[in-house]
Structure 1
Amino acid sequence: MSLDSIFGEVPDPSSYSFPDYALPQGDPVRPVAVTAAELTALLDLYETFAAVDPTGASSNPFVRATSEFLEQTFGTTLERPDERLHDDIADMLSDFSEALGDDSPGVVDVTPAHFRTLYFFLTGAKAYHVAPHIRFAPDEGSVETLVEVYQRAVDQDFYLKRPRSVLE
Structure 2
Amino acid sequence: MSLEQVFARLPDPRSHSFPDHSLPRGDPVFPIAVAREELTTVLELYETFEAVDPTGLDANPFLEATTRYMQRAFGVSEYRPDEQLHDDIAALLNDFSDDLGGRALGVVDATPHHYRTLYFFLVSCRGYHTAPHIRFDPDEAAVETLYEIYQRVTEQDAYLKHPATVLD
Q: Do these two structures clear the TM 0.5 threshold for a shared fold by scoring above it?
A: yes
State the Cα distance separating 1:81 from its structure 2 match: 2.2
For these two proteins, the number of residue pairs brought into alignment is 168
Aligned-partner SS, 1:30: strand
Look up the match of 2:149. Answer: 149
State the Cα distance separating 1:104 from its structure 2 match: 1.7
Q: CA RMSD in A?
A: 1.2
Contact 1:67/1:78 (CA < 8 Å) preserved in 2?
no
State the Cα distance separating 1:48 from its structure 2 match: 0.6
Q: Distance in 2 between matches of 1:59 and 1:121?
A: 23
Aligned-partner SS, 1:42: helix
TM-score relative to the length of structure 2:
0.95
- In structure 2, the CA distance between the partners of 1:69 and 1:9, relative to structure 1 (3 Å rule), is same
Contact 1:45/1:143 (CA < 8 Å) preserved in 2?
yes
Q: Distance in 1 between matches of 2:71 and 2:163?
A: 48
Pair 1:120 & 2:120 matched: yes
Look up the match of 1:37. Answer: 37
Amino acid across the alignment from 1:88: D
Amino acid across the alignment from 1:130: T
Contact 1:68/1:77 (CA < 8 Å) preserved in 2?
no
State the Cα distance separating 1:165 from its structure 2 match: 0.3
Q: Runs of 4 or more off by more than 4 Å in structure 1? A: none
TM-score relative to the length of structure 1:
0.95
Amino acid across the alignment from 1:124: S
Contact 1:30/1:157 (CA < 8 Å) preserved in 2?
yes
State the Cα distance separating 1:80 from its structure 2 match: 2.5
Q: Distance in 1 between matches of 2:81 and 2:163?
A: 36
Contact 1:55/1:80 (CA < 8 Å) preserved in 2?
no
Aligned-partner SS, 1:109: strand
Where do 5+ consecutive residues of structure 1 fail to align? Answer: none
Aligned-partner SS, 1:29: strand
Q: Which stretch shifts more, 74-83 or 148-157?
A: 74-83
State the Cα distance separating 1:77 from its structure 2 match: 4.6
Q: Distance in 2 between matches of 1:78 and 1:133?
A: 22
Cα deviation per residue 1:27-63 (whole Å; 9 max; x = unaligned)? 1000110000000011001001111100000101231
Cα deviation per residue 1:108-135 (whole Å; 9 max; x = unaligned)? 0000111111111111111111111110
Q: Distance in 2 between matches of 1:24 and 1:66?
A: 50
Look up the match of 1:9. Answer: 9
Look up the match of 1:71. Answer: 71
Amino acid across the alignment from 1:104: A
Q: Distance in 2 between matches of 1:17 and 1:160?
A: 22
Look up the match of 2:158. Answer: 158
Where do 5+ consecutive residues of structure 2 fail to align? Answer: none
